[in-house]
Structure 1
Amino acid sequence: MAVGKREILLVAMAYYLFLLVSAGKGGGGEAEADRIIKLPGQPKVSFKHYSGYVTVNKEAGRALFYWLTEAVSHPESKPLVIWFNGGPGCSSIAFGASEEIGPFKIKKNGTGLYLNKFSWNTVANLLFIESPAGVGFSYTNTSSDFNTSGDTRTAKEALKFVIRWLDRFPHYKQREIYLTGESFAGHYVPQLAKEIMTYNSRTKFFINLKGIMVGNAVIDKYYDTLGTVDYWLSHALISDETYKQILKKCDFHKENDTDECYAAYDYADTEKGNIDIYNIYGPTCGYSIIDTITPHNHRIQRIPQRFFSISSRQISGFDPCTENYAKIYYNRPDVQKALHANTTQISYKWTTCNHILHDNWNDRAYSVLPIYKEMIAAGLRIWVFSGDADAMVPVTATKYSLAQLNLTTKTPWYPWYLNNQVLLHYYYRFTDDTN
């Protein structure tokens, strides 16, 4: 039977409507295949979430794993916030998604999930990326990649990820995008921002980057390191004698220092004792071995934690053992299946930090302050925050590094109150002298 013009028009219209729905709701079949139905032990939620892989280098077999948790309400009107954890070598799924800003936290011993009432997906769509390849579920089929990763390749492949991920989820292409992260993501975030700015200047396809936000961020080698040892001294973590030895034996301008310098740092570790270096006033996990990756690249500390009688939940509900729960939960086969993770059956267990990759980091910028100047000139919004109990990349390091930008203070330091109590002290807000 011949097909009339009316039938052809109806078919064309139906297909066109299908394309519109795909672009507005999920981006098509590839995105829908990444849709998470329900994670094991997951409470009921109103938002959609997706996870899977984006190939960033087909020849080497490198692919980055992501987890998108859409906003609780009206996700179509909310910005896209992309989150990176640092190390280098640490998982954004383990820390950012499961301990800090994601919608779920992991129950004791990895038995299930519970809702995080402070999740950022109340105000934004959250995209967690495990970067570079070899971190968490992100994989490479080229084993030598563990010895050749570095800032340059990480930034370029993060850009490839963003471009290809937006192709998979085209309804996010015009959305406002903010790059965020902590610790060594103080390199990842501005370096990716620079790649995006360069990309936008060379192509018609515009990535709608609006700003960045980094916390306790690695910024400048010299001032970060000086600020860190000053913090240790001012918070009575090390002695005056050890502080003087570090200043005498170490050259903070060098990437790799002398054996005498490392010996001084080792003695400083002895003086600091078995504390949580990321939360010096909090309890430690009483039965585990905590692997601490140092973004300043002095060494990796494997610190056996002694038992503390203090309950891990006595301090504002804080549980210092959550990293161990993540190792249990994300190694469960049913969890990996639900996440569309470990599809290539990598030969090692999922872990929170890849120490081989960290130890062999191939290149790192001495300072990202020049990129800050470029971002300011481009009109990007920049928010740098710093927790004052973190002794790994402390607030003094952040202040020393940012001071090198020589910007004018727009709003002076002041306390921020919540229910008539000082919650925190607000960071400096700077303005460029040329504005």
Structure 2
Amino acid sequence: MSEVPPDVTNLAERWARARAGYDHATADALRDEIRAEGWLVQDTAVGFELIPVPPFEVWPTLRSLPEDASAAGRREGSDAGAGTGSGDRPGTVADTGTEDAARGRDESADAGQVAEAADPGRHPGRLEPLDAERVAETEAAPRPRPEGAELVGRSDDLHGHPDRMVSSQLLWDASLSVSRLDETIVAPAEVEEPRAAHSTVTVALLVDGRPEELRECVRALVARTEARILALDLGNLDGAGAVLQELAQEFPHRVTAWHVAELPHWRGGSAGWGESRDKLLRLDTSDVHVVMDTSMILEGDAITPLVKALDDDVTAAGWKGVNPREDGQEWLEAEPGEVRALLGHLIAVRRDTVLAAGGFPTEARYYRNADLEFSLRLPGTLVGLGRDLPVRRERRRGQDEVDPEYRDRESRRTYDRVLSLLRSP
């Protein structure tokens, strides 16, 4: 890491004093000065940390991100990793030659990215050939045809298959001949029942370090599901934010990345788990919002069964469900079926229902027990699908990174609210 210039350190010290004195206007102005010098300042448990500006756009804090998806103006195919709109702009962009490059999107490189994804041998740790082929198919999928252009069958069924196109044309010609012969006969038209629209699905990831784990998690999602991926990077810990940006560039139609300079609360910063998860929820535009930990690695399509389980009055479906003992002091893993709460490793929820219920518990600064609090605040039925879901958990996250005293204190603080929810009628 480059050595911090003394004048930047002085600015950061003044920034820390302004924050301690709740002089937010001065703190914001000093933060902008530090940014102009090529550095980002991060709040930590022992004061502050200065890091060089990364080569992608970084928003200063969670609160500076757009309030909701409509304000963000971001949809499928929009610039991944780039902030949009006016007002609160993202923190910085390093000069990478062009605006598109700085935003982490180079559409002209898509073909090369598809070829690279289809050749797992080019990079260590790539997916197996069949999975890589799935990635290539996803990235190379044809764009929707203009309205009215399709006569017979689906355009993606005919595309690239001349024999199917000829068959379809013959069928079309034959049908025209029959209709001309029988044009004097008027038959009642059959009314086709409209097909139910497929739910759109987004997998939401909170990135707080462990870059190689993140890489494996995202690659498995791209290869084994059709879901969009929305990721929020907190502070580029251990270079995980840079890896996320690489993934957003490699899969621009699947991965959307947001970056903030704020560090996670459990790593000495100020961005809490509940606040971060709630921001992801509000940046999403899909019908189904999937809460997923980066330690979860798909071994098959584990997302579709969760989405299909959201039927009738089912609000949320997860990998593992739990039920409390009568005293509420211990939770036991439940058999597949209806449960009282879901563990936060992997949960699919109806996004509109969660928003109507108030979103995620923003009081939860650490993830432990926050999944129980979140579950108990949801209306409707919750179901757990059990261990047969094709997914594995790579490791028990956070045990080696979080101060034990902090972990116990924050866990207890959240569990006090859990007990209140259990006791409420």
Fold shared per TM-score above 0.5: no
Work out which structure has the larger RCO, using CA pairs closer than 8 Å and 6 or more positions apart in sequence: 1
Structure with higher Rg: it is 2
When normalised by structure 1's length, the TM-score is: 0.22
